[in-house]
Amino acid sequence: MSRGRKQVKRPLKRKPNIVLVGFMGTGKTSVGRRLSSQLRMHCVDTDDIIEQESGRRINDIFAEDGEPAFRQLESEAVHKVSKMCNQVIATGGGVVLKEANMKKLKQNGVVFCLTATAEEIYRRIGHQTHRPLLQTPDALAKIRTMLAERHPYYAQADYMVKTTGCSFGEILAYIKKVFQHTVARNL
Ligand code: S3P
C-alpha cells in the first residue's frame, strides 16, 4: 500500500478556448491566427473544417445544396470544435444564428464578437468573390441589412470587440487581456 497523502481524483480543469464570432470581414481568421501563435494555442476555423471534410468549397456547397445544408455542416463542425480545448476557434459569420451552436461554443470557451461598420466591411471584402451571401449587385446594402438582422445574435457573445479604427495590436491586446483574466478567475 502506498503511503503519504491520499490522491483525490478530480477532473482536470481544461484550458478554455477563445471563440471568435462576428460578421464576414471583421477579421476573425487573421486575428485568430495571430492570437494562437502569441498565446501558443492551436487554431481551428469552422469554415476550413467544412471545406476539408466535404472536399468542396463553401461557394459550391451553397450553390449545389443550398444554405440549410451548409448550416447543417457548420453545426457539425461546431459540435466537433467545441469538444476541444486550448484552441482559438474562428467561426463563419452565420454561426451565431443557431442557439445550439452558441451554447456549445460557450461551454468551454470565451466568446468574442469582432465588430466593424458596414462601410468598413464593404471596404475590406466587397471585392471578394468567395462569400456566396455577398454575391449581389448591391453588396453594401446587403451587408447593412444582414448586420441589422444579425445584431441580436452577435450580442449573445461574452465580449464585443470593435475593430473599425483600431489597430491589429490593440485588438489582440484587448482579447488577450480579457481572456487571461477570465482564465485566472476560474483557476
Ligand atoms: C457566412 C460567413 C462565411 C461563411 C459562409 C457564410 C455568413 O464565413 O461561413 O460564406 O453567413 O456570414 P466568414 O465570416 O469567415 O466570411
Q: How far is CA 176 from CA 2, 39, 111, 165, 167, in A?
A: 43, 8, 12, 19, 14
Kindly report the protein residue whose alpha carbon is nearest to atom 10 of ligand 1: 131
Residue 11 has pLDDT above 70, yes or no: no
Does a structural domain hold residue 186? no
Cα-to-centroid distance, 33 and ligand 1 (Å): 17
pLDDT in tens, 74-103: 999 999 999 999 999 999 999 999 999 999
Atom of ligand 1 nearest to the CA of 91: 15
Cα separation of 75 and 46, whole Å?
A: 9
Does a structural domain hold residue 50? yes
Cα-to-centroid distance, 180 and ligand 1 (Å): 28
162 contacts: CB under 8 Å, gap ≥ 6? 115, 116
Does a structural domain hold residue 166? yes
Does a structural domain hold residue 11? no
Mean pLDDT of 122-143: 95
Atom of ligand 1 nearest to the CA of 132: 10
Binned at pLDDT 50, 70 and 90, residue 187 comes out as: low
Residue 180 has pLDDT above 70, yes or no: yes
Q: What is the CATH number of the domain that holds 67?
A: 3.40.50.300
Whole domain around residue 117: which residue ranges? 17-180
Q: How far apart are the first and last CA of the chain?
A: 32
Mean pLDDT of 32-41: 96
Does a structural domain hold residue 156? yes
Question: On the CB side of 166, how many CA atoms lie within 13 Å of its CA?
Answer: 19
Cα separation of 175 and 113, whole Å?
A: 10
Cα separation of 187 and 19, whole Å?
A: 19
Question: pLDDT value at position 13?
Answer: 60
Count of the separate structural domains present in the chain: 1
Place of cell 468542396: 56
Ligand 1: residues with CB < 6 A are 24, 28, 47, 58, 92-94, 131-133
Question: On the CB side of 67, how many CA atoms lie within 13 Å of its CA?
Answer: 8
Phi, psi of 135 (to 5 degrees): -85, 75
Does a structural domain hold residue 132? yes
Does a structural domain hold residue 3? no
